[in-house]
Amino acid sequence: MAKTVATIAFIGACAVIAGYLAQRPTIALGDALAAELQEDQSADVTRIECDDARIGPRGAKFMCRVETATRGTGTVACELGRDGRIACLGM
């Protein structure tokens, strides 16, 4: 009887901890996001710097500073979707 109660308590504690951890956002480092964006850009883009992004259940929104050879420097709004795709407005 004591083993059964201990087993049920252990399973319950694991479920509570898993639920708590599932609610916490994940942080994507700006350097990693910038590297991912840099791979997909043309040779015109010379430098990309991105802010760290908090990834929640719906994805993440973050800002990047983009430097190009022809258009200068600008800031773009980017979004990381649930499927892992990064979309930026103005790039």
Q: For the chain, which residues make up each domain, given as ranges?
A: 26-88
- Confirm whether pTM is higher than 0.75: no
In this predicted structure, the answer to whether residue 63 has a pLDDT above a threshold of 80 is yes
Residue 73, beta-bridge partner list: 67
Pair of tokens at residue 65: 């500073």
pLDDT higher at 43 or 85: 85
Residue for token pair 């790039």: 91
Pair of tokens at residue 9? 């308590």
Local confidence band at 51 (pLDDT 50, 70, 90 cut-offs): very high
Query: Average pLDDT, stretch 64-89?
Result: 87
61 class by beta-carbon count within 10 Å (0-12 exposed, 13-18 middle, 19+ buried): middle
Helices (H), 1-91: 2-23, 30-39
* Model pLDDT, residue 36: 87
